[in-house]
Amino acid sequence: MSVTTLVVDLVEVWRKGETIFAARSDRSRTPRGTKMPRMTDAAIVATLLTVPMLVERADAHHGAGLYDPRKNVELEGRLTRLAFVNPHSYVYFDVAGHDGKVVAMKCEMRSATVLRRSGWSPEMFVPGASIKVTGHPHREDATACTVETLTLGTAPTLERYQQLSDATAVNRAKRPFRLPNGKPNLAGEWAQEQQVLANPPGGRIGLVPISQAAAIKAGKLPMPKGPAGWFPPPVTLTAAGRAAADALGKRPTSENPRLSCQITSILFDWVFDGAVNRITQSGAAIKMQYGAGLTRTENMNMAAHPANIAPSRAGHSIGRWDGDTLVVDTVGF
């Protein structure tokens, strides 16, 4: 059986004071004894940043698939509280209905880690302050919506993806590129370059890297091609992978883990929505801790996968160094 393994080449690139590592995929045709599903092509581009991590998670949330993007709502009221949590934050406020009765609203924002990275903070949301929200309504819950724009008191209106501050670049003098054993140093917080909305002259509005936003708005650069920055690049599916994708497409959307904001895959959740992730590294294992809540362990001292692996979203991974290339073989999804 032909299989595909992920080969990650570490390439250091300097840009605007940040350390960028590009990862590419390669294919290996080495047969293995296991019949567990293996990962297909992937590519990850991540910026190594030093950012505060907030690990509290919401007890429950609606999921993006339950909001209707074809409809809009405009609401005004008084802020009551904020749930600054992952995978989504929620702002709560009271709105006076047409009959004079007060309706308690809860509207979904981005995750706390991404908001904090973008310069947002809980201190911005003062209970009792006036609030204006535009967004999209929940399909089943009249007291819920998404937040597309937000106005707090007399402060300027904020957009959902608005960047309020620049991320702090890593001090390269304090962070060695290699560990004492000579291997590349992967440990630290990882995130993509921030994506913000830009509307080029005569073009379509879309998410673009923040370093390109001004030039795109001025018409000096074209809109990037391909998926938005926090989606993984397209992959080439095997016949089995294509059949599984087609089968999922025929099932009710309520069974799609992505639409209820559950962990989806080791590729998607590393980059989706600008997540902030963490890598810890030792001689025995490299652990990738996803901001979305998944932990993936590359076992560095194993020669073969266990015989009976319980399938999971992270699978079972074995890693090895080939020079400065980290080769990871993952089965058991």
What is the C-alpha to C-alpha distance for residues 14 and 259, in angstroms, rounded to an integer? Answer: 36
% of the chain surpassing 90 pLDDT: 41
116 in Cβ contact with 135 (< 8 Å) = no
What is the C-alpha to C-alpha distance for residues 256 and 249, in angstroms, rounded to an integer? Answer: 9
| Average pLDDT of the chain to the nearest whole number | 77
193 in Cβ contact with 117 (< 8 Å) = no
User: What's residue 168's pLDDT?
Assistant: 57
Element (H, E) at 93: strand 90-96
**Residue 195 is encoded by which pair of tokens?**
């994506």
3-state secondary structure 1-43: CCCCCEEEECEEEEECCEEEEEECCCCCCCCCCCCCCECCCCC
For residue 1, give the nearest of 31, 26, 28 by alpha carbon.
31
Among the listed ranges 30-34, 231-235, 302-306, 316-320, which one has the minimum average pLDDT value? 30-34
- Strands (E) in 149-245, as ranges, are 149-152, 158-159, 188-191, 195-198, 206-209
pLDDT of residue 323 exceeding 50 = yes
User: What's residue 142's pLDDT?
Assistant: 92
pLDDT of residue 38 exceeding 80 = no
Sheet with 285-289, side-by-side order of all strands = 6-9, 325-331, 316-322, 295-299, 285-289, 277-281, 188-191, 44-48, 18-23, 11-15
Domains delineated in the chain: 6-51+171-192+230-331 (no CATH), 64-159 (2.40.50.140)
**Residue 248 is encoded by which pair of tokens?**
């999922």
Task: State pLDDT tens for residues 204-218.
Answer: 778 888 888 889 989
Mean pLDDT along residues 41-58: 29
pLDDT of residue 45 exceeding 80 = no
What is the C-alpha to C-alpha distance for residues 5 and 27, in angstroms, rounded to an integer? Answer: 6
What is the C-alpha to C-alpha distance for residues 22 and 280, in angstroms, rounded to an integer? Answer: 18
Mean pLDDT along residues 304-318: 94
Question: Pairing between strand 316-322 and 102-108?
Answer: unpaired
User: What's residue 170's pLDDT?
Assistant: 59
Helix (H, G, I), strand (E, B) or coil at 191: strand
Backbone angles phi, psi at 30, to 5 degrees: -80, 120
Task: State pLDDT tens for residues 83-132.
Answer: 998 888 999 999 998 888 999 999 999 988 888 888 899 999 999 999 99
User: What's residue 275's pLDDT?
Assistant: 79
Task: State pLDDT tens for residues 165-204.
Answer: 655 555 667 788 999 989 999 998 888 787 777 888 887 7
Task: State pLDDT tens for residues 129-171.
Answer: 999 999 999 998 999 999 999 999 999 999 888 888 655 555 6
Please state whether the predicted TM-score (pTM) of the whole model is above 0.85.
no
